[in-house]
Structure 1
Amino acid sequence: MWKLSKGGATVWVLPMINPVPKDLAWDSSRLLRILKISDAIYIPKPDKPTTVQKIPANGKLSEFLSKNTYKRLLKVIDRENLSHRFLLRIKPAYLGGIVYNQSLLQRGYIPWLDMNTFNNAVQKSKIKIIDLPWHSPEVGFEFMQNATVEQADYCLNLFLDSLDQVVLKAPLVAKAWSSGDLQAVLNDYSADPYNKCELSQKKYADEYKIIVDDEVVHQIQLLLNDNRTNVIVLPLDDVLKKEGIFDKLRDDGVEITAPPQ
């Protein structure tokens, strides 16, 4: 956890990594100690759910992708023992994320935090939970509904590339994370393919910048003006990226202390 300080106020940042093994043993004792002395925990919550859309009955997925990408997708579906019948009816805007997440679940990973351990710690502390406004992926998906073959190929291949990389790197990241080796985490951790895909569309990138880079920073600044202690949960990508949340807070005079190595 990173510690943000300004004046007499403190905000602890709990970053999320994606994915983690199901059987990774989490030590939540430090989190529980911090929760017990904090006023509230802020957890990201998208402003509306995403509805997966399917290809019309008279359409085919192969019509939306290049031959090479379509062949690559079929190989991945076979390799990961996924359902052809279900996946080949999904529009490309949603397909990459579904294949990515289903493959990781098949391999014994879970997205983001171990929510059972996290929720148990939050419930034990009896801390106040506050929803943190977060971006909805619908803006990116709206664009992809009318995407060209080239655009659909780009995003689907991002997810397939990320899946191949995660299969190799996730065990190393999880081991480093569990042992507190932050540098090793940063060396092997890769950016979320959702962000890579959606940020390639200007409309989504503009919304993402406003909600994540500006509104979240503003929320943290308000908390740091309150002379209290709070906790906020954020994706690792967003806090550490160049000109991201931490860089903006440093420019505002916030002292940022990294986790002990």
Structure 2
Amino acid sequence: MNLMRPWIVLLCFVLAAPATVAAPVQTPPPATTAPAPAVPANVPLLAPVVVSGVVPGPGLWKVSKGDHVLWVLGTLSPLPGHIQWESHEVEQALAQSKQVLLAPKIKMKADIGFFGKLFLLPTAYGARKNPDGKTLDQVMDAPTYARWLVLKKQYIGDDGGIERWRPLFAAQELYKKALKTNGLSNDGGVSGAVDALAKRGGVPETPVEYQVEIKQPREALKAFKAAAPSDLECFNRTLDSIEHDVPAMTARANAWATGDLEELRQLPDSHRRDACVTAITSAGFAHQLGLDDVPAQLQAVWLAAARKALADNTTSFALLPMNELLSSTGYLARLKALGYAVEAPIGLDEAPAAAGSAAPAPAGSAAAH
């Protein structure tokens, strides 16, 4: 529903995994399992400089029941913007797979017809702006606005139009420009590379989506526009993240690219995305749109898809955000609690909370039963 795009794009950004373009991939080797390749000697690790060149990424988690296996790749955002991700392990897993589960995401649906779209067009684009024509300096305190001006000058430049945007949208634009300036990107081409490999091997890809139907789009837009105060936590957390967390983000991106999962688990996460998700799901309009329980709904949808893939196929493949794999309460922890065997990649110790903090791995790792 393109005419509602300004705010639907934002919802999908904070509630779902981002997509990106494909990275170069190699012809898959014979379908045999093998440990993750060693980090190439030519990969620079001069923090906070981002790595570049050909990188292997992390090993795979392995979820199994009987002789049926689901291989899971943990994704991360941001990642280095100038890498060529080439994972022999992923190629081998995909060569054996009968299905690929895409990363879980929210899908917005609003059936309002052609004339309804025409009517909503000015309203939808107005949802990106502050109510009553206010500018950013009028909707936040002076110290916060002063921080914004410093970062805006550094990463965006002289853009007067953005001063009328709601903090939630302005924060997203600032974050996007800051990533690019610091040599980072949404996912380094990983999702595109998996897509290319799947298409090359004729492996069907299955979207994993929680669909939200907007039954009264006009009322929803009005409610969204009226929820502006909830933007400020996301805005402040984004400023914090850009001011203080870029070195940690770069280190996390480097750790993913070089397959150092222990390092990745130890590095702090800014939790900026969590603050922005909360800004939306705690707003008054969220219940009206069915967005107040999105994380739980997404998990339920993915678990159902994963269990079906494991039941139907001897080998399947899935993409999941890395935090869900390293968490003791994440998606794989839930599968482990349901009786599935979960194995962590070689080189990743069992997470501190014995539950299913992440556990799975490619060939040769010890099962975490």
Corresponding residue number in structure 1 for 2:164: 89
In structure 1, distance between residues paired with 2:333 and 2:143 = 40
Mark the CA change 1:221 to 1:170 in structure 2 (over 3 Å): closer, same or farther: same
Determine which of 317, 324, 344 is the counterpart of 1:258: 344
In structure 1, distance between residues paired with 2:222 and 2:74 = 28
Corresponding residue number in structure 1 for 2:40: none
SS at match of 1:48: strand
The one-letter amino acid of 2:296's match is K
The one-letter amino acid of 1:121's match is L
Mark the CA change 1:187 to 1:205 in structure 2 (over 3 Å): closer, same or farther: farther
Quote the offset at 1:251 in angstroms.
Answer: 0.8
RMSD of aligned alpha carbons:
2.9
Does residue 226 of the first structure (1) align with residue 301 of the second (2)?
A: no
More helix by share: 1
Corresponding residue number in structure 2 for 1:46: 106
Quote the offset at 1:166 in angstroms.
Answer: 4.0
Determine which of 201, 207, 225 is the counterpart of 1:145: 225
SS at match of 1:218: helix
Q: Is the 8 A contact 2:101 2:306 kept in 1?
A: no
The more displaced of 39-48 and 246-255 is 39-48
Does residue 186 of the first structure (1) align with residue 265 of the second (2)?
A: yes
Corresponding residue number in structure 2 for 1:175: 254
Deviations 1:89-125 (A, max 9, x none): 2212322222111211232211024245444333333
Quote the offset at 1:144 in angstroms.
Answer: 6.0
Q: Is there any run of 5+ residues in structure 1 with no aligned partner, and where?
A: none
Mark the CA change 1:219 to 1:123 in structure 2 (over 3 Å): closer, same or farther: closer
Between 1 and 2, higher relative CO (CA 8 Å, sep ≥ 6) is seen in 1
Quote the offset at 1:143 in angstroms.
Answer: 7.0
Mark the CA change 1:93 to 1:41 in structure 2 (over 3 Å): closer, same or farther: same
Does residue 108 of the first structure (1) align with residue 183 of the second (2)?
A: yes
SS at match of 2:320: strand
The one-letter amino acid of 1:9's match is H
The one-letter amino acid of 1:258's match is A
Mark the CA change 1:227 to 1:58 in structure 2 (over 3 Å): closer, same or farther: closer
Quote the offset at 1:228 in angstroms.
Answer: 2.1
Q: How does 1:178-217 map to 2 (within 5 A)?
A: 178-190=257-269, 193-199=272-278, 201-202=281-282, 203=286, 204-210=291-297, 212-217=298-303
Corresponding residue number in structure 2 for 1:17: 76
The more displaced of 189-198 and 176-185 is 189-198
Determine which of 197, 207, 212 is the counterpart of 1:131: 207
TM-score, normalised on structure 2? 0.62
Q: Is the 8 A contact 2:233 2:275 kept in 1?
A: no
SS at match of 1:11: strand
Q: Is the 8 A contact 2:102 2:319 kept in 1?
A: yes
In structure 2, distance between residues paired with 1:221 and 1:96 = 37
Q: Is the 8 A contact 2:82 2:188 kept in 1?
A: no
The one-letter amino acid of 1:145's match is K
The one-letter amino acid of 1:46's match is I
SS at match of 1:197: helix
Which is greater in Rg?
2
Quote the offset at 1:142 in angstroms.
Answer: 8.2
In structure 2, distance between residues paired with 1:12 and 1:257 = 10
The more displaced of 114-123 and 74-83 is 114-123
In structure 1, distance between residues paired with 2:158 and 2:330 = 38
Quote the offset at 1:182 in angstroms.
Answer: 0.7
The more displaced of 152-161 and 234-243 is 234-243
Percent identical pairs in the alignment equals: 21
In structure 2, distance between residues paired with 1:58 and 1:180 = 48
The one-letter amino acid of 2:72's match is V
Corresponding residue number in structure 2 for 1:63: 138
Q: Is the 8 A contact 1:31 1:121 kept in 2?
A: no
TM-score, normalised on structure 1? 0.85
Corresponding residue number in structure 2 for 1:35: 94
Q: Is the 8 A contact 2:130 2:228 kept in 1?
A: no
Quote the offset at 1:39 in angstroms.
Answer: 0.5
In structure 2, distance between residues paired with 1:7 and 1:86 = 58
Quote the offset at 1:25 in angstroms.
Answer: 3.4
Aligned residues: 257
Quote the offset at 1:185 in angstroms.
Answer: 0.9
